[in-house]
Chains A and B, each alone.
Chain A
Amino acid sequence: MDETVAEFFKRTILKIPMTEMMTILKAWDFLSEKQLQNVNFQQRKESLVQDLVLLCEKRASVHDAALLDIVYTQFHRHRKVWDVFQMSKGPGEDIDLFDMEQFKSSFKKILQRALKNVMVSFRDAEENAVWIRIAWGTQYRKPNQYKPVYVVYYSQTPYAFTSSCPLRSNIPLLGQALTVASNHHKIVKMDLRSRYLDSLKAIVFKQYNQTFETYNSTTPLQEKSLELDIHMDSRIIHENRIEKERVQRVTQETFGDYSQPRLEFAQYKLETKFKSDFNGDILAERKEPLRCLIKFSSPHLLEALKSLAPAGIADAPLSPLLTCIPNKGMNYFKIKDK
């Protein structure tokens, strides 16, 4: 095996935490049960990696290493930041039957025709999805295996999710390849980005507002009122109970009872004229719009927004600019004067 390939294997296996080693290797499905049994998983990581690389050396290729990298990324999808692309068919085009193999070969061909050195790997996933790994090279350089781009395409939908591409110039080519290979006409990047691929999926496929079927919808209400009773010392009297209930109701109407999809930020780019109550304010006299960027960050933005009004930090109802995020499927906004 080539030195560079061996190095690629070593670095890929080293990334895997010891606790997940067995799971990921099994998912990779390259080493047989027998081979895995013969490996000592109790030794130190460096020696384990060496043993595994030796095992792979005999018949593994760079493509197998790429597949292992895909498996690792599937288990650690939150380490990448995902963008969302939406494709559309031209007007009057029929919905063709989708052929996965044809898509894969077409996608690969388009990229290879444009760039001489590019390595494309595929791994099928559930829900008719395919994970695509692309390692970019140039005319004179072999593909760089350490800066790949991942694309997750759900074939029954017009949506594809891509990890952020370090080589910006390749994005249009990637979009073109996706569009043509999947028999679409146009591709557009949505203003939606997050680390949490499953949350992006939930937003884009409108699956976030489904409550679980086994969950009895009457029990949470009972639990809530019980909670209030347990904490209520009879010596503590809440004066604004009606207002509190109104806030709870409005919050529930806006956000629902289900858990929110997970986003880390919402960004608002304002290009509006400055509005001021004072007459003769210098800023209000400007003809050009004031540029301003507002960013809300949180480990779980939508849950944080949901808890603002009940916590007494903001008025209910919240601004529709904040509450429209899952509905509109956007967390990047450009606000201009009408």
Chain B
Amino acid sequence: MIKAILIFNNHGKPRMSKFYEHYTEDTEQQIIRETFHLVSKRDENVCNFLEGGLLIGGSENKLIYRHYATLYFVFCVDSSESELGILDLIQVFVETLDKCFENVCELDLIFHLDKVHNILAEMVMGGMVLETNMSEIITQVEAQGKMEKSETLTLLFICQSMRQSQASRFSSKIS
């Protein structure tokens, strides 16, 4: 079972966090910090697995992560998941984000936190892997996006263009 999915940037700023087990809010923050601490000090040429920190349950759990440009994607899973399988699941997740946002960048995650969560919900439900097929995930996300479109019609295009122009303006500041 997947216990938690965390995305944070190179500075440890959380960009998305989803916990499938209940922790108190403080613990969640500590877990994010601890995980960042564990993951960030690893070189690029080491393996993508490490044992979970104390808070998330120690040797019972594994952290499986991938590092993309400015972002770390960390899945915390228990022994019932396959390490390499999860590693590729992260890849699927990121590729899906990329498809949905057209060239995803850190800012997309910040401004569309809800959409990221919705995409994730198509892949992982209650800690169980629901769907691993990218085109299927995108179909589902789009099917739900359609109602959004029907409600907000033309504005989407305006938003889209605004987002792109502003995103490029911010990205220099953030990174």
Bound pair (A, B): no
